[in-house]
Structure 1
Amino acid sequence: MEPRDIDGDLTEILIDQEQIRARLAEMCRSIEIDYADKDVLLVGVLKGAVMVMADLARELTLPITMDWMAVSSYGSGTSSSGVVRILKDLDTDLTGRHVLIVEDIIDSGLTLSWLLANLKSRGPASVEVCALLRKPEAATVDIDVKYVGFDIPNKFVVGYGLDYAEKYRNLRSVGILAPHVYS
């Protein structure tokens, strides 16, 4: 879906698909250096990370395995409830594995902080984070994110996997959702 397909729903395009593609390629080159000769497991966080995970995995030139986890702290609203629930757990044993969590966006960091603690308790060799987007102004906890695509303003964004009420995930760019859509 292109921005013109949802005319009036966005106030601004923050990052277009070419910028996303180029930045993911840069991130992959760093990941390949850091994980050379390591058995890396990409853990995608559903549903938002689907686009990032797919494009990241296709761009990487090293062997990888993938698994998915679904956690929820939002419900149907626009802000975190603070309570994290596992909706789908991993199928893979993390013992001794080098885990790279793949996220679409880091807002407050509360859910990711919980997820990091949970995965680290499972005996991996290492756990790092790769996120396409990060909102530094929204952070309420400090999280070390090894690979960050873009720092963005604290606005409600959709596209490239990010949604509002399950819509807009297939927008190829990342844009700011107009307040009249979610008000």
Structure 2
Amino acid sequence: MGHGGNVINELTTDHREVEEIFGRIEALPPGDKNRKVYADQATMELVRHSVAEEAYVYPAVREHVAGGDAIADKELEDHAKAEQIMKDLESCEADHMEFDRLIGLLMTEIRSHIADEEENLFPRLRAACPPEALDKLGDKVRQAKKMAPTRPHPSAPDKPPANKMLAPGAGLVDRLRDALSGRGKMDD
């Protein structure tokens, strides 16, 4: 993740990448161990994406978009639901009886969230912010994703300044755990 361009292009590209991972999961038969690998990859991408949105995009929405507080609060609610599903999914292997239900729930939740952002939030943000501000937000989001956690932390703060202070430390620990465990990587 980290594509360049303004914040809307950055986040829309993230959406396409997650959708591609969901397609890989759906193409595999139930119980296939690679479904878990792809679920972990989707979780890693989604957590980084969410942390960056919570740190920079939603505060900008609150500041610049009419009715921004209500919009940002709804987006944070969506994130909280998805994060809890990802947390529940984290302990399930692909052949666990709950895996298919949880991954289906996650895909439904994320697809609905993506549609809402792309049809409602992004056009309003584009209309409310000058291009330079959207470019700056894109840079901040890319930086945040590099430092962000890769695992769900449902009890972590989701609003600045606490989320901006805690995310890099959690991200470092998560990336270390991922490297040591091979999480999100295919077996050779």
| TM more than 0.5 | no
Q: Which has the higher helix share?
A: 2
Identify the structure with bigger relative contact order (alpha carbons < 8 Å, sequence gap 6+). 2
Give TM-score, length-normalised by structure 2: 0.29
TM-score (norm 1): 0.29
The structure in which a higher percent of residues are strand is 1
